[in-house]
Chain A
Amino acid sequence: MKEIAIQVRNFSHYYGSHQSLKNLNFDVYRHEILGIIGPAKSGKSTFLACLNRLNDLLPGSRVEGQILVDGQDIYGPEVDVVALRRKIGMVFATPVPLPMSIYENVVYGVRLLGKNNRKELDQIVEDSLEKAGLWNEVKDRLQTSALKLSGGQQQRLCIARILALKPEYILLDEPTSGLDPISTMKIEDSLRMLKKDYTIILVTNNTKQAARVADRTAFFLMGELVEIDDTRVIFTRPSDKRTEGYLEGKFG
């Protein structure tokens, strides 16, 4: 039996009066890659934002129900949001390195914790870039601006700076939507490696990507969870007609 890491219970989310997530109920297992697929506006990205409470930044955002991460309700009153965001790293669709050097990007979150030991930071930079599969490409120019990297490299840098925080969860919001096939492949390779140590939720518009890397796949439609199952099951014999329709390209 797999260990349950995240429990979503009767969870709904609203922007003002618009309900963007409708009564979700499912679990995420530890050390799996959960793919979330679905057409635009189906609530995939909103769900990720809710998981590390980035939705707090949006005016008019409201939630109902619970999300339990390691048994703790992340919307509970005693939750330390900053600590939560460190535990649940987020990679965005467009790579957004901060306007500083490669090195500083990786250690940004670590420095916020007050760590400033040069040796320790050097080690973190090397480890994180190594895990994100970027070390060999940038090890000779760590002090150059991160904005000069290619899109694919920037995205792997964004993964590296999350890893530097030693999170337990990694959320990826269409991480390869703007990248060429080779960069995409490199990121997918990194994800398969990372699965050993992290629980990963991957939102993607590219259903084939989910088929390639996800252990289980969830299909979202108009804020509802249509079905969630082993990736192979979803792609070969889905139990819901709508899933089948989406995968065959009938809508979305």
Chain B
Amino acid sequence: MTKLDKNDRLIRISLLVVAFSAVSVLAVITIFIFEQGTPIMFKYGLKSFLFGQDWYPSEKSFGLLPMIVGSLMVTFGALIIGVPLGLASAIFLTEFSHRRLTRFLKPVIELLAGIPSVVYGFIGLMFLVPFIRENFGGPGLSVLAASIILGIMILPTVISIAIDSIRAVPDSYREGSIALGATKWQTVRMVVLPAARSGIVAGIILGMGRAIGETMAVIMVAGNAADIPGSILQPVRTLTSNIALEMGYASGEHREALFATGVILFIIIMILNTIANLTSARQKKR
């Protein structure tokens, strides 16, 4: 074996170790959460965890349904607000705006992702919550407030992935369509968007993952009552908020129940990520 071969092997092995250490962190977290969270789920029964409506940890009542519903509600609400806005921006920036404007606006939009979530929460608390309270009634701290804040927070994800996949549509499709007498908008609607669809969907799912995992901003504007909200103007508690709010003082089975919350969150996010990966893989294959 020459000296260079030896060097190559050494580098290969050390890179392998580094690569695996990143993966192993994920493995350790996964094992730890499941090891801490699953026993209590089976002790009190999966059904009472997933479908129980009462969360009174001090009385050994660990129903997570309000939080599961809460997470799904604010996430869904975020999508209702973020997806149309994000898609419209992406379409404008790729197909209709001046090149120079796009070059200026895209980095600005991506900057949105760099604002700490506590700042979003603070702005929501100072302006959005009072606005909702005064104009629509209710406490202001609500599903609606959380949905709007999250909708804005997922914009950069939705927009930049949508832009990338719209740009990946070959120009020859656009030319072909326009040469057949389509207007620009008809071309976008009938050719460009369908061709970019799987990428756009993957972006939406990633945005969804961000919305469901977001904690700080949601805690600040959602009100955090552990009940299933009757309307979008009532307070709501999400899975992530549940963990963050009670981790500080929980012990024993209460603590384990919070880990169980984490397990459920973990599974939901895994499912979303897998769907995102599958859809983008399908696009590459075509």
What residues of chain B lie closer than 8 Å to A52, measured between beta carbons? Answer: 179
Q: Report the interface size for chain A: residues with CB under 8 A from the other chain.
A: 27
Residue from the list A89, A92, A100, A108 in contact with B172, Cβ < 8 A: A92
What residues of chain B lie closer than 8 Å to A92, measured between beta carbons? Answer: 172, 175-176, 179
Interface segment, one of B140-148, B182-190, B219-227, B268-276:
B182-190
B84 close to chain A: CB less than 8 A: no
- Is A54 in contact with B178, judged by CB distance below 8 angstroms? yes
- Is A112 in contact with B182, judged by CB distance below 8 angstroms? yes
A57 close to chain B: CB less than 8 A: yes
What residues of chain A lie closer than 8 Å to B170, measured between beta carbons? Answer: 96
- Is B180 in contact with A57, judged by CB distance below 8 angstroms? no
**Contacts known (A98-B173, A99-B173); A90 close to B191, Cβ less than 8 A:** no
- Is A158 in contact with B176, judged by CB distance below 8 angstroms? yes
- Is A85 in contact with B180, judged by CB distance below 8 angstroms? yes
B102 to chain A, nearest CB (A): 13
- Is B195 in contact with A99, judged by CB distance below 8 angstroms? yes
Contacts of A82-114 to chain B: CB distance below 8 A? 82-83, 85-86, 89-90, 92, 94, 96-100, 108-109, 111-113
- Is B181 in contact with A112, judged by CB distance below 8 angstroms? yes
State the CA gap A111–B190 with chains docked (Å). 10
What residues of chain B lie closer than 8 Å to A89, measured between beta carbons? Answer: 179-180
Nearest chain A residue, comparing its CB with the CB of B183? A82
B194 close to chain A: CB less than 8 A: yes
- Is A54 in contact with B175, judged by CB distance below 8 angstroms? yes
B279 close to chain A: CB less than 8 A: no
**Contacts known (A92-B172, A108-B190, A112-B186); A98 close to B178, Cβ less than 8 A:** no
Chain A 51-64, CB within 8 Å of chain B: the 1/0 string? 01010010100000
A85 to chain B, nearest CB (A): 5
A134 close to chain B: CB less than 8 A: no
A161 close to chain B: CB less than 8 A: yes
B175 to chain A, nearest CB (A): 7
State the CA gap A6–B75 with chains docked (Å). 59
- Is A86 in contact with B181, judged by CB distance below 8 angstroms? yes
Contacts of B150-187 to chain A: CB distance below 8 A? 170, 172-173, 175-183, 186
State the CA gap A112–B195 with chains docked (Å). 18
State the CA gap A158–B173 with chains docked (Å). 12
Residue from the list A59, A99, A162 in contact with B180, Cβ < 8 A: A162
State the CA gap A24–B170 with chains docked (Å). 32
Seen from chain B, the residues whose Cβ lies within 8 Å of a Cβ on chain A are: 99, 170, 172-173, 175-183, 186, 190-191, 194-195, 286
New A-B contacts (13) at CB < 8 Å, excluding given A83-B181, A92-B172: A57-B175, A57-B178, A86-B181, A90-B179, A96-B173, A99-B194, A108-B182, A109-B182, A147-B286, A161-B180, A162-B180, A165-B180, A165-B181
